[in-house]
């Protein structure tokens, strides 16, 4: 099989099926300043093409009325999330600045405007799929259901964690209101293009560097049942599910498998029980992996030679038998040298080919 040249779609689906493709699939996420530097380096606006990325995302655009107005230099999203542009020594980024529902009541949550599932351009998704049909087409995102982060952007993460532990009625109402909308948007998206989408993407950050963010009991009580409807939508179309989770999250992997999730991403190698060797040994015959190249390791702080060695070592551990997609663990941040990002993908092409 190694001598065969596959399309990106074939390559990813072969790897997810725990078979060896022609080469290891790759993915990329970067902050705008990193993207800008890479475009200048390659002399093109198409970074996916330049880096050999095997994935493309599709989804319906919100077409409804403006629900929240910006406030001075604070940008307010359609969900009412408040962000302000922050300038650092490395570049600029948007960061959360105020949390309008931090002390909201149930009635205030009910009155909070959120995007209506009717106000989305579902028809365009089929057209998007056709335009990228040779790539692995991803529906959903790491924002589904993303309860802790997504609701935390409105209520603060601290309060959302308290809500989950104490069964706070207002916090749970926010979680369910947001989740119900997202489930319905996802259901309608797959009604239009489910047979053209290759992978359902989900997300829920469940770990710190040292261990779980929440208990397994809390996960099973509040997170898992709200995540299951998304998985079930994918199951109806026989589409695999990939879940994003930061930090030490392998404690939840058996539950993921039981739910029907077969691909996990992020995989911070420095976090507890998240090293490539541990994951491959413990779950490699049951889960496919996406990530493992830390954005807080050699990629950001090492030399080109360090990056190449890190990629090669990771591939030697994760490649055998398929089941691996090489990617940065998170969005590549502004403090990452351009030459290191380039070196990562050059090393993937050099060492990621199956014999």
Residue 3 belongs to some domain of the structure: no
Q: What is the DSSP letter of 207?
A: B
Nearest to 174 by CA among 80, 68, 101: 101
The three-state secondary structure class of 32 is helix
Burial 306-325 (b: 16+ CB within 10 A, else e): ebbebbeebbebbbeebbbb
C-beta of residue 254 within 8 angstroms of C-beta of residue 225:
no
CA–CA separation, 136 and 121 (whole Å): 21
pLDDT at 1: 42
Structure tokens that stand for 217 in this block: 């009991």
Residue 21 belongs to some domain of the structure: yes
> What contacts 183, CB < 8 A, 6 or more positions away?
229, 230, 233
pLDDT at 92: 79
The three-state secondary structure class of 174 is helix
pLDDT at 3: 53
Residue 277 belongs to some domain of the structure: yes
Q: What is the DSSP letter of 250?
A: G
Q: What is the pTM of this model?
A: 0.95
Count: domains in the chain:
1
CA–CA separation, 15 and 1 (whole Å): 12
Q: What is the DSSP letter of 251?
A: G
The answer to whether the peptide bond before residue 145 is cis (omega within 30 degrees of 0) is yes
CATH number reported for the structural domain that contains residue 218 in this entry: 3.20.20.210
Sheet arrangement for strand 136-145:
55-57, 136-145, 199-203, 241-245, 263-266, 288-293, 324-328
Residue 127 belongs to some domain of the structure: yes
Residue 78 belongs to some domain of the structure: no
Which range marks the domain in which residue 312 is found? 8-65+100-351
> What contacts 131, CB < 8 A, 6 or more positions away?
none
pLDDT at 183: 98
Residue 266 belongs to some domain of the structure: yes
Q: How far apart are the first and last CA of the chain?
A: 8
> What contacts 155, CB < 8 A, 6 or more positions away?
99, 101, 102, 104, 163, 171, 174
Structure tokens that stand for 255 in this block: 């539950």
Residue 79 belongs to some domain of the structure: no
In order of 134, 165, 289, the CA distances from 216 in angstroms are: 39, 12, 21
CA–CA separation, 326 and 350 (whole Å): 13
Residue 58 belongs to some domain of the structure: yes
**Average pLDDT per consecutive 10 residues, the chain (355 residues; last block may be shorter):** 80 98 98 95 98 98 97 95 88 88 98 98 97 98 96 98 98 98 98 96 97 97 98 97 98 98 97 98 98 98 98 98 98 96 98 95
């Amino acid at each position: 099989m190694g001598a065969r040249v596959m399309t990106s779609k074939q390559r990813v689906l072969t790897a997810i099926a725990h078979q060896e493709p022609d080469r290891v699939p790759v993915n990329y996420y970067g902050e705008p300043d990193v993207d800008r530097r890479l475009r200048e380096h390659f002399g093109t606006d198409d970074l996916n093409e330049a880096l050999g990325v095997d994935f493309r995302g599709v989804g319906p655009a919100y077409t409804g009325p403006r629900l929240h107005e910006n406030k001075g230099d604070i940008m307010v999203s359609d969900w009412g999330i408040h962000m302000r542009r922050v300038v650092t020594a490395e570049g600029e980024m948007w960061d959360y600045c105020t949390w309008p529902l931090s002390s909201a009541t149930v009635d205030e949550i009910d009155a909070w405007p959120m995007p209506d599932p009717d106000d989305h351009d579902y028809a365009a998704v089929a057209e998007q799929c056709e335009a990228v049909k040779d790539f692995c087409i991803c529906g959903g995102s790491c924002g589904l259901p993303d309860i802790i982060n997504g609701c935390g952007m409105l209520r603060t993460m601290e309060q959302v964690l308290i809500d989950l532990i104490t069964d706070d009625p207002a916090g749970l109402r926010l979680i369910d209101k947001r989740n119900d909308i997202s489930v319905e948007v996802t259901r309608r998206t797959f009604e239009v293009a489910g047979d053209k989408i290759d992978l359902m993407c989900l997300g829920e950050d469940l770990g710190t560097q040292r261990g779980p963010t929440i208990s397994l009991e809390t996960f099973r009580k509040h997170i898992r049942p709200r995540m299951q409807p998304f998985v079930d939508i994918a199951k109806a179309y026989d589409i695999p599910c990939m879940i994003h989770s930061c930090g030490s999250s392998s404690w939840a992997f058996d539950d993921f498998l039981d739910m029907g999730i077969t691909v996990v991403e992020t995989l911070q190698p420095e976090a507890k029980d998240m090293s490539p060797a541990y994951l491959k040994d413990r779950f490699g015959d049951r889960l496919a992996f996406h990530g493992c190249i830390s954005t807080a390791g050699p990629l950001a702080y090492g030399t080109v030679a360090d990056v190449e060695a890190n990629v090669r070592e990771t591939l030697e551990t994760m490649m055998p038998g398929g089941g691996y997609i090489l990617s940065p663990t998170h969005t590549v941040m502004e403090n990452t040298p351009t030459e290191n990002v380039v070196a990562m993908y050059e090393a993937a092409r050099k060492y990621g080919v199956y014999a």
